[in-house]
Amino acid sequence: MSTILFDCDTGIDDAITLLYLASLVRAGEAELIGVGTVHGNVDARTGALNTLRVLELVGIKGAEAGEAGEAGEAGVPVAVGASRPMAQDVHYAADWHGADGLGDIGLPEPAGRPVAESAAAQIVRLARSRPGEVTLLATGPLTNLGAALLLDPELPALVREVVVMGGAFDHPGNITTHAEANIWHDPEAADLVFAADWPVVLVPLDATHPTAVDDRWLDGLAAHDSDAARFATRILEFYVTAYTPTLKRRGAVIHDALAAMLAVRPELGTYVERPVRVELRGELTRGTTVWDARSLPAEDHRRPVRVAVGSDVTTFQDRLLAAVRSL
Ligand code: RIB
Ligand code: CA
């Protein structure tokens, strides 16, 4: 069973990913020990309230505001993280996720509240409380992970694996010509993550874009009579409208859910292992993920990152749809 600590910027595909994780918890296939939120699609506090909204929709309560604990009877702690990047201005993605991060469908306030602990402190505490067990799944900018590395230099030895949705290699960027949004939002933090001596799986646009869902998938979701399916259908309407011009057909790329599925079902992906760096100074290329694909002996002594370059798209789409419909 996977022990997952989720760091996200709960926007629409992060929300669908929370539904997927909830289905794994309900099936006894994963334990969600905490969630941290970060600036990105929306501000970190809105992301935390959105996370609580989604978890409550599927019967998972947030831990009490005062507590800094671990998931269990007390609920799942949702911790607010960094409000801005390490070395640039903050930037939100209202065009893709809505001003409220969930497609502006006007959801009520959640019953729960975020815990007092910061997301970075929660990463360090939970990694120390469960040494070698925690899969750190990150689907937003990497500021909290970078801050946690600065807080506790021993963190890499305590975490089982880091799975990141982000980057682009042999695929165009989505926020600049070459940079993917999660990395571009905080290049310095991302480079700290790729430089650290821990096992990182990176799920870039090269792997996520081919999994774009289509009419059949969206209609299969809309046809299902459940609160979770209705919620997912409603928030995806905004995201599909934003994505259709890019895809040139009705559809959307649910990037974060692929990272989550590869975290628990790595056999569904295909990978290459190479050191990864982030461009920090290029006027046109800041935030771009860079690897050395030459067939020369590796000159870069960083620990190689396991980069997903493809996946079993049909199985991913079928399992994600089944997961949401199971709730
Ligand atoms: O580039 C896609 C990523 O940026 C996804 O995580 C999406 O939620 C946004 O955060
Ligand atoms: Ca995200």
Sorting pLDDT into bands at 50, 70 and 90, what band is 299?
A: confident
Q: Say how many Å lie between the CA of residue 286 and the centre of ligand 1.
A: 17
Q: What is the pLDDT of residues 83-104, one digit of tens each?
A: 999 999 999 999 999 999 999 9
User: According to the model, what pLDDT value does residue 66 have?
Assistant: 53
User: According to the model, what pLDDT value does residue 248 have?
Assistant: 97
Annotation marks residue 255 as catalytic: yes
Q: Say how many Å lie between the CA of residue 156 and the centre of ligand 1.
A: 24
Question: Percent of the chain having pLDDT more than 90?
Answer: 94
> Could you give the residue ranges of the DSSP H alpha helices within 210-312?
215-222, 227-247, 255-264
The closest residue, in CA terms, to atom 10 on ligand 1 is: 140
Q: Which residues line ligand 1 (CB under 6 A)?
A: 9, 11, 13-14, 40-41, 139-140, 165, 174, 180-182, 255-256
pLDDT beyond 80 at 71: no
Q: What is the pLDDT of residues 176-213, one digit of tens each?
A: 999 999 999 999 999 999 999 999 999 999 999 999 99
Annotation marks residue 300 as catalytic: no
User: Ligand 1: which atom is nearest the Cα of residue 182?
Assistant: 4
User: According to the model, what pLDDT value does residue 68 have?
Assistant: 53
pTM for the full model?
Answer: 0.97
Average of per-residue pLDDT across 228-250: 97
The one catalytic residue in 43, 206, 255, 256 is 255
The pairs formed by 222-227 with CB atoms below 8 angstroms and a separation of 24 or more are 224/324, 224/325, 226/325, 226/327, 227/57, 227/327
User: Ligand 1: which atom is nearest the Cα of residue 11?
Assistant: 8
Average pLDDT along the chain: 96
The one catalytic residue in 9, 13, 152, 206 is 9
Q: Say how many Å lie between the CA of residue 297 and the centre of ligand 2.
A: 35
pLDDT beyond 90 at 297: no
Sorting pLDDT into bands at 50, 70 and 90, what band is 296?
A: confident
Average of per-residue pLDDT across 124-136: 98
Q: What is the pLDDT of residues 101-110, one digit of tens each?
A: 999 999 999 9
User: Ligand 1: which atom is nearest the Cα of residue 181?
Assistant: 1
For the record, the structure tokens of 4 come out as: 């997952």
Q: Say how many Å lie between the CA of residue 165 and the centre of ligand 2.
A: 8
Question: Percent of the chain having pLDDT more than 70?
Answer: 97
User: According to the model, what pLDDT value does residue 73 have?
Assistant: 61
Question: What strands, in cross-sheet order, belong to the sheet with 78-80?
Answer: 78-80, 30-37, 2-8, 134-138, 161-165, 200-203, 305-311, 269-274
